[in-house]
Structure 1
Amino acid sequence: MANVSVEAMTSAEMGKLWATYLFNNYSGYVLTVFEHHAADEQIKQLLQRARQLGESNQQAVKQMMQEHQFPIPEGFSQQDIDLSAPPLYTDPFYLYYYTKMASAGLEFYVSTMPLMTQPSIRKLFNGFMTDTIALLNELVDLKMSKGLYVKPPYIPIPERVTYAKSANYLSGFLKEKRSLHALGITSIFNDIQFSYVMHAYLLGFSQVAKNEEIRRYVTRCSSLLSELTMELRTLLEDESIGAGLPTEANVTASTRAPFSDKLMLFMSNQVMSVLIRLLGRSFSETSRHDLSVLYMKQLAKVSTLAQDGMKLLLDQGWFEEPPQSPNRQQLIRQH
């Protein structure tokens, strides 16, 4: 029987709490492995704080779900990691990887806040945002102190305010291309950094996945990320804009899996999902026809891969369904 003293959750509150629980659930096991293998004490301590924060967030969401008698997602367990496996990545990789995933988490929390109706749930997500911002500041400071921070490109400060005078501003094919603006450079740079780090992440999966189909899938994902990195770097190099790479984010020679195939397939799909959001945002900020076409082509490729990954999850019986509305036609047929 429903608890009548608790305000009913909206679909947005259900969906976002469900997604938040799963995000903190799977990332907690990833961080457990990374923390276990980190040799650098400062990196290990930061990963420990990140893991503890995720566990606290997951527990807070679980409590909120229980108050509303909402089924707790199953997610992943200790059985999905193997701490006895050798390290699959180098220490710097852990910082680069978690910076990207914490940034994705922060964007998720920011987009969630305006959709939350209940004050208690808004307070919950407000806390998640505050804690994630503090953690990201720590990550940046630590990377800076270790010489691992890759800065975005520099361009000269404009001498004055100017206005575009014709539709040539949008051109990028037959006519002379205008130079990239700061927002476009930032998007391209951010996409390069994400693609490079996640290429290494999934390359590691391709070395250790046991299931042949899953190994082929993560290899395709890794190859696409490598292709995207090179294509976007060429865009900047063609305009004499330097873009450094997090080259310390390396994969070891290990062929023993620290993660289960189920967890690696799920994480690969998460990477594709975040990449779709990044490319979509970059597409909206290009204002140049050639870049719009490039992003549309890459979005189509990533979307196809994401669908293939979803089919694999379904085939394996590993896809845990989000909360759904009733199927009215099915209910009518059953009557």
Structure 2
Amino acid sequence: MSSSQVPISASELANLWMTYQEKTMMLRVLEHFIEHADHEEKLLLQMHHENAAKNAEKITIILQQEGAVVPIGFTESDIHKGVPKLYDYMYDILYLHMMTKVEMSLYALFTGMSYRKDIEDFFIGLTAKSQEMNSLSTQLLLEKGVLVRPALVSMPKEVHFVNDKNYMDGFHWFSEKRSLNTVEVSLIHHAIETNLIGMQLMIGFAQVAKNPEVQDYFVKGMKLSKKIEIDLGEFLRESFIEPPATHAGKATTSKTAPFSDKLMMYNSSLLASFGLGSNALGGAFSLRSDLPAKMGFLVKDIFTFAQDGGKIMIKNGWMEEPPQIEDRNKLTN
């Protein structure tokens, strides 16, 4: 039996469904950015838009072949064209840089959850393309002086093993806090960089949201991103490292929504889920107990934020339900 004749599994169906939601959302966001982009930025945005459209169509074909309904996702009704741009210089590429990080993580995970060869190959291709787009956006942002590189360090000349009993407590040499190691610095830098971009996203969304409850939610998201940036930035400053910052990519003063409240809520939900995973990973790989403790508190805040967002989406009929497993209990009633 060829791979195409093997029915897709629950995990493969779920991952195709989630990818379709993300791809159709990206199409709408990129359309607004492309409308206002300069030439160099527009080429990169159009490339990602073409890839997203092509892959959304591939998912549609696979689902139709399996006899499954194609999800609604996000359509032309979720974008308002001809409105002023919501974000200024280079935010479109900063956003692309952030979202391709999300995509790389998702598609690598989905590849490992795929068993049918064509589905596995599909997610391998998506992973490779998101890596390519992340690289192109990174290089453009660096060329424009918009993206800040992580701290440079002296190269180690010898291999050392930990022999200080206080190393994992975060203290070293007469109870002074030890400096962060490079693993910890990299995780903190990544979290701050992502939250700076996310904070501007929330500011813009809060300015244009039509639903007052949704507007308040985005204000909470803005404050949460700021809190994460400040709290984690303090760890870097204690080791005499300046946290990342950028002069570009701010929200404009526009009050006209380019996107539906539904789309903006989904985008914030996707980033909150990514933030949960990133902070959990950061806590797991840190060897300083005060850092995982802080990230643990932040994870709790992010989880509460994500839960509140889910409730708002359900209340307004914006949460499309994932494919459901048949309830066998009903057969016995």
Count of aligned residue pairs for this structure pair: 328
Are 2:210 and 1:245 equivalent residues in the alignment?
Answer: no
Query: Which structure 2 residue ranges, 5 or more long, are not aligned?
Result: none
Q: Offset at 1:173?
A: 7.2
Aligned residue type for 2:298:
Q
| 1:33 equivalent in structure 2 | 32
1:157 is paired with a residue whose SS is coil
Q: Is the 8 A contact 1:12 1:116 kept in 2?
A: yes
**Contact 1:200 1:249 (C-alpha < 8 Å) held by counterparts:** yes
Q: Which moved more, 1:191-200 or 1:58-67?
A: 58-67
CA RMSD of aligned residues (A): 1.5
- Aligned to 2:259, what secondary structure does the other structure show? coil
Supply the AA of the counterpart residue of 2:28: Y
Deviations 1:210-250 (A, max 9, x none): 10100011110111001111111111011101233133011
Aligned equivalents of 1:15, 1:102: Cα separation in 2: 20
For 1:101-145, what per-residue CA distance to the aligned partner results, in whole angstroms no more than 9, with x for missing partners?
011101111111122111111111121122222222211222222
The answer to whether structure 1 residue 234 and structure 2 residue 222 are counterparts is: no
**Aligned match of 1:48:** 46
Contact 1:103 1:136 in 2 (8 A): yes
Amino acid at match of 2:116: Q
For residues 53 and 272 of structure 2, what CA distance do their matches in structure 1 show? 24
| 1:64 equivalent among 62, 65, 87 | 62
Corresponding residue number in structure 2 for 1:121: 119
* TM-score, reference length from structure 2: 0.95
Q: CA deviation at 1:29?
A: 0.3
Secondary structure in structure 1 of the residue aligned to 2:166: helix
- Separation of aligned partners in 1, 2:25 and 2:307: 20
**Rounded Cα–Cα distance in structure 2 between residues aligned with 1:239 and 1:122:** 43
- Give the equivalent residue in structure 1 for 2:313: 313
How far, CA to CA, are the matches of 2:165 and 2:103 in structure 1? 37
* 8 Å Cα contact 2:192/2:244 also seen in 1: no
Deviations 1:274-305 (A, max 9, x none): 11111111111111111111001000011001
Aligned to 2:285: 285
Provide the residue aligned with 2:268 in structure 1: 268
2:144 corresponds to which residue? 146
Aligned partner of residue 74 in structure 1, secondary structure:
coil
Corresponding residue of 1:16: 15
Query: Partners of 1:162 and 1:326 in 2: how far apart?
Result: 55
Give the direction of change, closer, same or farther, for the CA distance of 1:7–1:291 in structure 2 (3 Å limit): same
What residue is the counterpart of 2:210 in the other structure?
210
Identity of aligned residues (%): 28
